[in-house]
Chains A and B, each alone.
Chain A
Amino acid sequence: MDPVLLIIVCVIIGGVLASLGVHLLPVGGAPAAMGTATGIATGTVMLMFGAAMCGLFTASTVATFSNSILLVSLSGAVGSWIMMGVTMLMANIIYVFGTGIVPVSGRIDVDPITKESQKEYKTPQCDGHGVPNVSYISGMVGALLGGFGGAFMYFALLNYANFEPTTAGMAAMGIFVANAIIAAYNIGGTIEGFHDPKFKRLPKALITCFVISLFCGVLVWLAANLGGLIK
């Protein structure tokens, strides 16, 4: 395929996957810091940024000895997967043994995966606590997709646009972050996972991220072309 198309398509896939990944993370924001909402007690941007950075580290390490786009992308996915898994586990340990609350979803009465009842364990006037099973699984899938998207973009910038590793990493991170933040605006800051009613807003974010990534892809190609990196 033409390098122009390859770069643009890869950047679009990366951006759209980043947006999808953000929608699956259990983000609690400030209320979760007090244990009164489900999710991890920080913003979407911080979580996705951390996951993407970890993914880019593993992906760039693998990219030094591998030329397979699938292997590099999957290693990125594993990197952000580990980061999110550890973060959610540690958050749960602190919630359960530190604050003394039960991980429970606030948006649904029955866990759609394990079929465990949620309603009885929820403190009245609260919006859930901690990271329950369904949110944990959703978060793992989100990190997998987000990390895959970030690493996919990195690989395209590295091998098709011929950027140096650092440049490719920073440019991929810039585009990834822009998409993640647009997605975060769509969910209004907090979400529990795929079972949250806010998840239904997903298509709007995907369209927006598609357009933004399209432009970013064109710009990256333009930069590589004008900089003399693409012969």
Chain B
Amino acid sequence: MTVTPAVEEEEEKKPTEGFPPDETRLGIISAVIAVIITILLPVLPAVIKAVGVIFALLWGADSVRKTSKYGLGTGVPSIGVLAMGYGIVGAILGTAFASKTGYAAGALGGVLIMGGVGYLSGVMSNSEKFIGMKIPGLERGMMELGLAGSLAMLLQFSIVAGSLNFDVVMDKAISTGIIALLFILSCMAMFHPYNACLGPDERRPRTLMVSVEISGLLCAILGIILVVTAGSMWGVADGVSLVIFGALVWLVFYVKFVKAAMREAYSVVGTGLIKTIE
């Protein structure tokens, strides 16, 4: 419980005040934060890991926005689901690396390899010889999605299972079926912001607020799971603080988003039905 306030303040202010660091900067900041939290993993309480999850998902949402801007033809959700599809494979590989090497940092091996596969699929999707989508920056976008998806999944595994050991993760996070929930909620946090906000008047800070908001919901649900399964070495307090943290993040960003949307919306005037020509 003692950890909660400090982290909340940092979390509430940082993304909005720093908004918008440009796409590259946001990517680097999020990646560094998520990687550091992943490496230091087992000793941290769930709330700090949740900050990592939020940043990883924010990065993913930004990449989805960047690539979907040009029109994918299949709808925005497709690329978010792709990211988490890669994320699951990368995270399972990461946990295998981590338990083989014995260090949590080994998990980054899985993340990097998935980034490579993402880059390759981006190259093949963009290349004239293969699919020929001709979207600028698709290679980088898909690479980032692979990285962000794997990092987010790894961090969530570690919150639920309390470690990155392959067997423990299999036992506590995957066999229990919690992974399905993690999968779809992380997908939501990545694709929903741009899917919901896209249009002529879309503004990046407003879109990213939705991502943080959904990540807050995800954290609250993770907290409930943590309380129920009691998987943490910090006891029930860990889960409870995570629920409070998630709910606070959700509330703050939900209010911010609604206010921003109200402020930026133009007034709607009723014009009646279209007149028929006699």
State which residues 174-230 of A face B: CB under 8 Å: 174-178, 181-182, 184-186, 188-189, 204-205, 207-208, 211-212, 215-216, 219-220, 222-228
Q: Is the interface of B mostly helix, strand, loop or mixed?
A: helix
State which residues 170-184 of B face A: CB under 8 Å: 170, 174-177, 179-180, 183
Say which one of A64-72, A87-95, A110-118, A163-171 lies at the interface with B. A163-171
Contact indicator per residue, chain B 69-109, by CB within 8 Å of chain A (1) or not (0): 00011110111011011111110110111011000000000
On whether the beta carbons of A185 and B131 are closer than 8 Å, the reply is: yes
Say yes or no for B113: interface residue by CB 8 A criterion. yes
On whether the beta carbons of B124 and A43 are closer than 8 Å, the reply is: no
Say yes or no for A44: interface residue by CB 8 A criterion. yes
Which listed residue (A43, A174, A175, A178) contacts B77, Cβ 8 A?
Answer: A43
Whether A215 touches B78, Cβ cut-off 8 Å, given contacts A175-B85, A208-B125, A226-B166, is no
On whether the beta carbons of A226 and B96 are closer than 8 Å, the reply is: yes
On whether the beta carbons of B174 and A164 are closer than 8 Å, the reply is: yes
On whether the beta carbons of B174 and A170 are closer than 8 Å, the reply is: yes
Set of chain A residues within 8 Å of B121, measured between Cβ atoms: 178, 182, 208, 212
The CA of A61 and the CA of B110, in the complex, are separated in Å by: 30
On whether the beta carbons of A188 and B84 are closer than 8 Å, the reply is: no
Say yes or no for B133: interface residue by CB 8 A criterion. yes
The CA of A184 and the CA of B74, in the complex, are separated in Å by: 7
Say yes or no for A173: interface residue by CB 8 A criterion. yes
On whether the beta carbons of B175 and A164 are closer than 8 Å, the reply is: yes
- A45 to chain B: closest residue by CB: B78
Whether A49 touches B81, Cβ cut-off 8 Å, given contacts A170-B88, A223-B96, A226-B96, is yes
The CA of A170 and the CA of B153, in the complex, are separated in Å by: 13
A-B contact pairs, 17 of them (CB 8 A): A29-B74, A44-B78, A45-B74, A45-B77, A45-B78, A167-B92, A178-B86, A182-B121, A186-B131, A189-B72, A204-B131, A208-B124, A223-B93, A226-B93, A226-B96, A226-B100, A226-B166
9 further interface pairs, Cβ-Cβ under 8 Å (given A181-B79, A181-B82): A164-B170, A166-B174, A166-B179, A204-B130, A208-B121, A208-B124, A208-B130, A220-B93, A227-B95
